[in-house]
Structure 1
């Protein structure tokens, strides 16, 4: 039944085409093990070539090494090539002055993209489930979020695909047990010091008492929000073309300051968020306070000025708003204003 549902998810979101070479991210946890097994079963139907990728973050000592050995045995069992790497995430976090979670995400994405390039893979499959989607939506809601945050995890964000995104964690575990699959448990998933774990083990069960199908309800909500977001982005295209002056260089965008200042506040914020995402690659670490600061910078009577935001520098230069990418600490919250001349 799950395989049928995964096939439906793949088809509805156009995740795969025949002949794709797919890098499968396998941590050793139940989600990634089931993902690997199902893609293996679908590989003939889609003429897929599968490669396993595993990153040892060196965060849990011998347990991390055991995870790597477990995945190596999986690769041998399935007769698939394995690309593995071991990286000291704590050192990366210290070097970049960011938290462990942010450093781990940075290292993981860099590893997966490089592994896919080296292997000639066209897709990177990730084992996110419907529960991960629901927990992300709740996490974003608690912090305060707009449409993007409330939409949760995208089923497809090229080259990444998430074939299990509409499958619940309980279904995943049932599948693993029914097919005699073994997996590794990450003890940090039970650590209540992490907000995500409290959402998983406390908030979601409490919500399930109000609605036993709360995961399904949040999954449907995510779909509705994504559809409405897509419609809004279509409507945003004309204002974006009016606002955009230069996007000639990677990591730099120039907008028409006067145009952005005089459109409605909702369109203004959307234009700024799109510009920030184009410059930075994502909107992680960007909150309402940063968008508010950009709005104030644009509306000021001063001809010149700049503010530092996470990952970029924003400048007003006469009639232009210029956004320039740079490395910045993601945890930065308060923008810092530095007058020019």
Structure 2
């Protein structure tokens, strides 16, 4: 087992500076602020990710391991976007790889449940591809998410009754690098216009079938009209939530949480596991367990909904050594003579 050092946790998004740059300067400053590395650029063909690719090509081309695009198999628009990314990436001298999935185009009359299931399937397939490419190349994934994307995500998380862990959204520590997470979407648009960057609009961005689009075009503007400045307040709430997550992570370290290293040949090479001494949790108040269990599951690369948390709170304390509690999505908690071990056999899931 290996101790997870505080400094070794996944990276934190950069704090907002007192006098942030704006427009094209904000884009350049965001790329310049990244450490030396080997990067995989996740590019969809849309404006934000095309700006990401252009900025990297201009400032740090040697550090771009690959540009990765993904054709979701949802119709001609998705294929055109992947082809556009390939052409523009190669024109800038970058290596481009394209993943794809086969699937049906969702009908306009699809109900909300089918729409959500379709979004989740597209997202899962895309992240499996990105993670596989990043592992193969030893690269860090970079996305073009902006400050506006963060506001929309926070809004949706609150809409879905998320707690502090979820409300932190993309401010939470993550292995994914998001250099534009403090950059407003308007600044990205200004950069694209000034540089004449060619991009494609995803036709699904105008469809009100998708929650994010309803939030972007209807709900958030309405909320701003009723309570001006609510977007800035959501950002401040997410910042505090991210700080709270760091405190919880420190507590898990103090309790003895460790990553379990899987040795080659043990048969669990596809499993990510995190262990914590059993005495640290046995007898702990349910309220505290409700904070620690999600942290341990997150370290194993998973997430825990209220059903899984209720099951762990109810059963883990009476679990005998050698027994295991299945949760969901390849996640389980096993009891050894000395520890609780969170095991995740579905580690290719999206890391947001």
- Superposed pair shares fold, TM > 0.5: yes
2:119 maps to what in 1?
A: 101
Give yes or no for contact 1:26–1:53 (8 Å, CA) kept in 2. yes
The Cα of 1:152 is off from its aligned counterpart by 1.0
2:84 maps to what in 1?
A: 70
2:302 maps to what in 1?
A: 282
RMSD: 3.3
1:257-299 CA distance string (max 9 Å, x none): 55413223343223211232234x121xx21232122111134
1:223 is the counterpart of 2:223: no
Rounded to whole Å, the distance in 2 between the matches of 1:313 and 1:155 is 23
Change (3 A) 1:290 1:191: same
Moved over 6 A (4+): 301-305
The Cα of 1:127 is off from its aligned counterpart by 0.8
Give yes or no for contact 2:273–2:341 (8 Å, CA) kept in 1. yes
- Residue 42 of structure 1, aligned match among 59, 63, 71: 59
1:30 is the counterpart of 2:47: yes
Give yes or no for contact 1:89–1:107 (8 Å, CA) kept in 2. no
TM-score if structure 2 supplies the norm length?
0.75
Partner SS for 2:123: helix
Structure 1 unaligned residues grouped into runs of 5+: 92-97, 331-341
Change (3 A) 1:297 1:257: farther
Change (3 A) 1:190 1:297: same
1:227-252 CA distance string (max 9 Å, x none): 232133223321244xx7x9455444
Change (3 A) 1:321 1:77: closer
1:150-193 CA distance string (max 9 Å, x none): 111147622x2111111222322232223222211111122222
Rounded to whole Å, the distance in 1 between the matches of 2:243 and 2:186 is 27
2:129 maps to what in 1?
A: 111
The Cα of 1:301 is off from its aligned counterpart by 9.2
Partner SS for 2:158: helix
Q: Which has the higher contact order (CA 8 A, sep 6+)?
A: 2
1:205 maps to what in 2?
A: 221
Rounded to whole Å, the distance in 1 between the matches of 2:332 and 2:242 is 29
1:188 is the counterpart of 2:204: yes
Rounded to whole Å, the distance in 2 between the matches of 1:132 and 1:310 is 28
Give matches, 1:238-257, under 5 Å.
238-241=254-257, 247=260, 249=262, 250-253=271-274, 255-257=276-278
Partner SS for 1:157: coil
Change (3 A) 1:317 1:83: closer
Aligned residues: 308
The Cα of 1:40 is off from its aligned counterpart by 2.6
Structure 2 unaligned residues grouped into runs of 5+: 1-21, 106-115, 263-270
TM-score if structure 1 supplies the norm length?
0.77
| 177-186 vs 125-134, which moves further | 177-186
Give yes or no for contact 1:297–1:306 (8 Å, CA) kept in 2. no
Rounded to whole Å, the distance in 2 between the matches of 1:315 and 1:21 is 36
Change (3 A) 1:122 1:305: closer
1:294 maps to what in 2?
A: 312
Give yes or no for contact 1:155–1:161 (8 Å, CA) kept in 2. no
Partner SS for 1:79: coil
Give yes or no for contact 1:32–1:126 (8 Å, CA) kept in 2. yes
| 269-278 vs 30-39, which moves further | 269-278
Change (3 A) 1:210 1:167: farther
Change (3 A) 1:315 1:67: same
1:57 maps to what in 2?
A: 72
- Residue 288 of structure 2, aligned match among 254, 259, 267: 267
Give yes or no for contact 1:240–1:271 (8 Å, CA) kept in 2. no
Rounded to whole Å, the distance in 2 between the matches of 1:313 and 1:182 is 46
Rounded to whole Å, the distance in 2 between the matches of 1:164 and 1:43 is 16
